[in-house]
Structure 1
Amino acid sequence: MRTHTLSGQADARMGPAWLWLLGAGVLASAQGDTSPGPPRAPSGPLSEPAPAYHRVTPTITSFALRLYRQLATAAPGNVVFSPVSVSTALALLSLGVPDDASAQILEGLGFNLTETPQASVHQGFQSLLRTLDLPSPKLELKVGSSLFLDKRLEPRQHFLDDVRELYGALAFSANFTDSAATGRHVSEYLRKQTYGQVAGGLPELNEDTLVVLLNYVFFKAKWKHPFHRYQKQDSFFMNERTPLRTPMMHQKEMHRFLYDPEMACTVLQIEYSGNALALLVLPDPGKMEQVEAALQPKTLRKWGQLLQPSLLDLHLPRFSISGTYNLEEILSHIGLADIFKLEADLSGVAGRPNVTISRVSHKATMGMSERGTKAGAASGLLSQPQALNSTAAPQVHFNRPFLVLLWEAATHSLLFLGKVANPAAG
């Protein structure tokens, strides 16, 4: 099956549009000095104007924490998704629906349209995506969007121009009457765009499908301070009574670190050799639900201010987790119910009314290991105390479920958010 640049006839019948929101990530290994959390506003008379992406990144973070709590409640166990992917796809979608529905989508994401008008929101996403897409010699980061529209449709040119200019989205014509062949082609396209990280797990198409919107994120980086190559099997306690033997990575190194007695958790920031960092949150035994319920953007800002460099004896499980979600019901619980109603038809996308969204799917993968740590020059960037014996460094042992927040440091973008409840679940 061949797709081509968008063209076709406007003779489509009514039918559902399936919206796929997809994120894929690979964490290879990580270490800097950038704090996590929403960016702080610039201060002082000589401050440069804040980049346009600052209009959207704090809202993406807040949306991510709301969505995480819903996913964790609905599906106990591992959780992983890309806040940037989900929010970008929904914001792009808002360009193709009537004005009232567009406002409902952006307000459902958490934007105050009185303070930040719709045009400014879209300009913020444009700035974010262009900044994330800048080449980096040490960080592989790829964010993209594509639209597959049935050849029977004649979408509005204004919509196609907007999504290309603001979101860099490519539009292709597809033959959904041959749903099996088209489904294979879309899956192969996505597999190539994510270098094999997202493959399978997508909903099946049928001949009534008219629109598929894809958004994908791929991330790969090396640790600034590599873990030792030697690993030992150790116990990871999925709960108080269920130990799992899993490979445990180990290093003695300087990291930014704190213990938060109010939240009852340990917080560790590990940096990559590129402009990215991982924030790992280890609740005290039995305190995961308490931490999940209390996790707010202001908490992330507080941690960013309080984290202090510490020499740690760090034990971290090697893991590979994935998540596939149908988000229709989840999104309706956090203010986005109207996008599934007839009033929110995709008239701007499809060129005719009564084409509505029937499926919102998201798939993400995350893997963390000692791989990708062959570039040893980065290991000397932080000064290292002379004494590195076991009595000099407190031991931090991630041997029970913990949270992972993966940030792009320049934009303060929360690329991935997950919970590792079973590091061997795949």
Structure 2
Amino acid sequence: MISPFSVETVLALTQSGAKDETAEEIRAGLRLPNSTEKTESVYASLLPNLRGNEHYALHTANKIYVKNSYPLNEGFKNIASNVYQSGIENIDFSQKTEAADSINGWVEKQTEDKIHNLIDPKSLGEDTRVILINALYFKGKWVYPFEPLATNKQNFYKTASEVVQVDTMHNTDLYYYYESPELNAKFLQLPYEGDDVSMVIVLPNEKEGLAALEGQIENVFAAPKFSLERVSVSLPKFTIENKVQLKKILKNLGVDKAFTDEADLSGIAGKKGELVISDVVQKAFINVTETGTEAAAATAGVFRSSKLFFAEFAWFDVHIVNFSAVEFDPEFDLKTFVADHPFLFYIKIKDIALFAGRVSSPTLV
């Protein structure tokens, strides 16, 4: 599981301080707009409006921790504060435990105590200069909740031959639904209260079809040709907590110079080659139940006096509708959607991918 939004936010802020080929590689790898100015314009419009309402909770926050007496570029500080709404705080990274506790405490507060120990004290040191952090929290209720009394133990096929019993939720209602012959998979959109947020489940038709589906991941996240159908849904309750190191992903995306002494992050601080990224790490959490979903993530980019890395983001263009206005038509043919084997999911709000992941075992923690 990963939060594309959280990763991209940290890296978008980073590219605001990157120059020349270093900046170009980040923008190309992350599919950001083709200039720093355009990227900043997107975030200047987006962040003030990415908030919860009376229907769901949504909170995102950015923070920059800077080594005591380390001078950040004034222009970068202005962009961080005015565009990315980031706080800036000086800290003594040489006091590893105290510094990690302070940073992790901020993350816990921003994520409603769902993300812990994002920063390992061992990752800090005398050469740590800057840490950029994004925190994200979401909690929403289904428009069509699952009846708790209907939840029962059913088989979940981790593989065609490995079966476990899991708590499985059931409901029949009107959902946006699509069957893709090209991907050999079914799509189901589960709306949350609030009209502009939903979870999409992508279920391969074959019990061991997840690998093939992930091999066509760009097509998976293209806009499905949804139609409104009456669907009988069986979905396991699931909880996922994980930590992802993103260096390998970023290198595969072509973000290379930022990891070397050729990195030019002089827009953040120092001269070309002086500041590099040593690590980008994310922790994420999700809990899906009969009433809705609670999810959180936090991403940290750690900058040292030499090495760099980032992660992939996708803007998923999935149609979201006002489900509260949909009327039930008894003449709809009944479709079935039984998620009894590994599947993919993603959560979108205002056409932004907040979270995405796979469920290969609903009891995964």
Q: How large is the Cα RMSD of the aligned pairs? A: 2.2
Which residue of structure 1 lines up, in the alignment, with residue 253 of structure 2?
Answer: 334
Which residue of structure 1 lines up, in the alignment, with residue 216 of structure 2?
Answer: 294
Mean alpha-carbon deviation: is it higher for 246-255 or for 207-216? 207-216
d(CA) in 1 for partners of 2:107, 2:80? 19
Tell me which of 328, 344, 363 is aligned to 1:384: 328
d(CA) in 2 for partners of 1:386, 1:325? 45
CA contact (8 A) 1:153 1:351 kept: no
Tell me which of 150, 162, 177 is aligned to 1:257: 177
Which residue of structure 2 lines up, in the alignment, with residue 425 of structure 1?
Answer: 364
Deviation at 1:297, TM superposition (A): 5.4
CA contact (8 A) 1:250 1:315 kept: yes
Deviation at 1:311, TM superposition (A): 1.1
Structure 2 vs 1, CA of residues 381 and 249 (structure 1 numbering), >3 Å: closer, same or farther?
Answer: farther
d(CA) in 2 for partners of 1:233, 1:418? 23
Tell me which of 146, 153, 158 is aligned to 1:227: 146
Which residue of structure 1 lines up, in the alignment, with residue 26 of structure 2?
Answer: 105
Matching residue's letter, 2:278: S
Whether 1:126 and 2:126 are equivalent positions in the alignment is no
Greater length-normalized contact order (CA 8 Å, ≥ 6 residues apart): 1
Matching residue's letter, 1:413: I
d(CA) in 1 for partners of 2:93, 2:352? 35
d(CA) in 2 for partners of 1:111, 1:379? 31
Which residue of structure 2 lines up, in the alignment, with residue 403 of structure 1?
Answer: 344
d(CA) in 1 for partners of 2:120, 2:264? 21
Which residue of structure 2 lines up, in the alignment, with residue 174 of structure 1?
Answer: 91
Structure 2 vs 1, CA of residues 110 and 379 (structure 1 numbering), >3 Å: closer, same or farther?
Answer: closer
Deviation at 1:372, TM superposition (A): 5.2
1:12-31 aligned at under 5 Å gives the runs none
SS of corresponding position for 1:277: strand
Deviation at 1:216, TM superposition (A): 1.5
SS of corresponding position for 2:214: helix
Matching residue's letter, 1:415: L
d(CA) in 2 for partners of 1:240, 1:298? 22
TM-score for the superposition, normalised by structure 2: 0.85
d(CA) in 2 for partners of 1:326, 1:212? 15
CA contact (8 A) 1:103 1:118 kept: no
Which residue of structure 1 lines up, in the alignment, with residue 75 of structure 2?
Answer: 158
Tell me which of 282, 289, 298 is aligned to 1:362: 282
SS of corresponding position for 1:96: coil
Structure 2 vs 1, CA of residues 84 and 130 (structure 1 numbering), >3 Å: closer, same or farther?
Answer: same
CA contact (8 A) 1:407 1:415 kept: yes
Whether 1:323 and 2:224 are equivalent positions in the alignment is no
CA contact (8 A) 2:232 2:337 kept: yes
d(CA) in 2 for partners of 1:92, 1:380? 37
Structure 2 vs 1, CA of residues 97 and 395 (structure 1 numbering), >3 Å: closer, same or farther?
Answer: closer
Deviation at 1:289, TM superposition (A): 1.9
Structure 2 vs 1, CA of residues 309 and 288 (structure 1 numbering), >3 Å: closer, same or farther?
Answer: same
Structure 2 vs 1, CA of residues 404 and 293 (structure 1 numbering), >3 Å: closer, same or farther?
Answer: same
Q: Which has the higher helix share?
A: 1
CA contact (8 A) 2:93 2:99 kept: yes
- Following TM superposition, the consecutive aligned residue runs of length 4 or more in structure 1 with deviations greater than 6 angstroms are none
Deviation at 1:384, TM superposition (A): 2.8
SS of corresponding position for 2:28: helix
Tell me which of 234, 238, 244 is aligned to 2:158: 238
Tell me which of 105, 109, 118 is aligned to 1:192: 109
CA contact (8 A) 2:141 2:292 kept: yes
The C-alpha deviation readout for 1:282-327, integer Å capped at 9, x for no partner, is 00223222221223258622x1xx2111111111000011221111
Which residue of structure 2 lines up, in the alignment, with residue 31 of structure 1?
Answer: none
SS of corresponding position for 2:94: coil
Q: Which has the higher strand share?
A: 2
- Ranges in structure 1 where 5+ consecutive residues have no aligned partner: 1-79
Matching residue's letter, 2:239: S
CA contact (8 A) 1:238 1:244 kept: yes
CA contact (8 A) 2:103 2:119 kept: no
CA contact (8 A) 2:21 2:257 kept: no
Which residue of structure 2 lines up, in the alignment, with residue 414 of structure 1?
Answer: 353
Matching residue's letter, 2:98: A
Whether 1:84 and 2:22 are equivalent positions in the alignment is no
Which residue of structure 2 lines up, in the alignment, with residue 393 of structure 1?
Answer: 334
Whether 1:217 and 2:141 are equivalent positions in the alignment is no
1:7-46 aligned at under 5 Å gives the runs none
TM-score for the superposition, normalised by structure 1: 0.73
Deviation at 1:211, TM superposition (A): 1.1
- Ranges in structure 2 where 5+ consecutive residues have no aligned partner: 294-321
CA contact (8 A) 1:179 1:207 kept: no
d(CA) in 1 for partners of 2:193, 2:213? 29
